[in-house]
Structure 1
Amino acid sequence: MTATTTSATPVAVPKRRLRDRLPVAHQLRQSVGLQRGMLVAGLVITGLFVLTAIFAPLLAPYGFAQLRGEDGAFGSQQAPSAEHPFGTTVGGYDVLSRVIWGAQTALLVIIVAVIASIIAGVLLGLVSGYFGGWFDRVLVVVCDAIYAFPSLLLAIALSIMISGGQSSLWGGILAAALSITVVFIPQYFRVVRAETVRIKAEAYVESAKVLGASNGRIMFRHVLRNATRTLPLIFTLNSSEAILTLAGLGFLGFGIEPTAAAEWGYDLNKALSDVTSGIWWTSLYPGLAIVLAVLGITLVGESLNDLADPRLRGRRRVAQAAGQVAETSVVPGGTLSAGPGGLDGLESGESFDEHGIEVKR
Structure 2
Amino acid sequence: MSATWARRRAAAGAAWSQFTAHRAGVFGLGVLVLIVMLALAAPLLTGADAVDVTKATGERLRPPSGQYWLGTDENGRSVAALTLWGARISLLVGLSAALLSLAIGTVVGVLTGHFGGWGSAVLMRLTDFFLVLPSLVLAIALSTVLGAGAGTIVLAIAVTSWPSAARLVRAQTLTLEARPYIERAKALGGGHGHIIARHVLPGVLPLVFVNATLAVGTAIVAESTLAFLGLGDPVAVSWGGMLRTASTSGAVTAGAWWYLVPPGLAIAVVVLAFTLCGRAAESVLNPRLRER
Structure 1 residue 252 corresponds to structure 2 residue 229: yes
Q: Distance in 2 between matches of 1:174 and 1:24?
A: 35
Q: Is the 8 A contact 1:67 1:73 kept in 2?
A: no
* 1:75 alignment partner, one of 59, 65, 87: 59
SS class of match (1:271): helix
* 1:188 alignment partner, one of 140, 165, 169: 165
Describe the shift of the 1:17–1:112 C-alpha distance in structure 2 as closer, same or farther (beyond 3 A).
closer
Q: Which has the higher contact order (CA 8 A, sep 6+)?
A: 2
Describe the shift of the 1:226–1:19 C-alpha distance in structure 2 as closer, same or farther (beyond 3 A).
closer
* 1:57 alignment partner, one of 3, 20, 43: 43
Per-residue CA deviations over 1:278-337 (Å, capped at 9, x if unaligned) read 21111111111111111111111122223444444476xxxxxxxxxxxxxxxxxxxxxx
Residues 224-235 of structure 1: pairs in structure 2 closer than 5 A: 224-235=201-212
Q: Distance in 1 between matches of 2:12 and 2:177?
A: 28
Residues 186-225 of structure 1: pairs in structure 2 closer than 5 A: 186-225=163-202
Q: Distance in 1 between matches of 2:37 and 2:263?
A: 17
Structure 1 residue runs of 5 or longer lacking an equivalent are 1-11, 167-171, 316-361
For 1:262, the equivalent position in structure 2 comes to 237
* 2:106 alignment partner, one of 117, 122, 145: 122
Q: Is the 8 A contact 1:62 1:94 kept in 2?
A: no
Residues 247-326 of structure 1: pairs in structure 2 closer than 5 A: 247-257=224-234, 260-272=235-247, 273-313=250-290
For 1:327, the equivalent position in structure 2 comes to none
Structure 1 residue 106 corresponds to structure 2 residue 90: yes
Q: Which has the higher helix share?
A: 2
Structure 2 residue runs of 5 or longer lacking an equivalent are none
Per-residue CA deviations over 1:220-261 (Å, capped at 9, x if unaligned) read 12211112221111101100001100110111111121xx21
Identical columns (%): 36
Q: Distance in 2 between matches of 1:215 and 1:140?
A: 20
Q: Which has the higher strand share?
A: 1
For 1:239, the equivalent position in structure 2 comes to 216
Describe the shift of the 1:162–1:19 C-alpha distance in structure 2 as closer, same or farther (beyond 3 A).
farther
Q: Is the 8 A contact 1:112 1:174 kept in 2?
A: no
Q: Distance in 2 between matches of 1:112 and 1:90?
A: 31
Residues 309-348 of structure 1: pairs in structure 2 closer than 5 A: 309-313=286-290
SS class of match (2:68): coil
RMSD (Å) for aligned C-alpha atoms: 2.5
Task: Please identify, of 178-187 and 231-240, the stretch whose mean Cα deviation from structure 2 is larger.
Answer: 178-187
SS class of match (1:255): coil
Q: Distance in 1 between matches of 2:283 and 2:193?
A: 34
Q: Distance in 2 between matches of 1:23 and 1:85?
A: 43
Per-residue CA deviations over 1:159-212 (Å, capped at 9, x if unaligned) read 11222xx3xxxxx22111111111221122112211222222322222222222
- Larger Rg over CA atoms: 1
For 1:341, the equivalent position in structure 2 comes to none
Residues 129-148 of structure 1: pairs in structure 2 closer than 5 A: 129-148=113-132
Q: 1:64 Cα shift?
A: 5.8
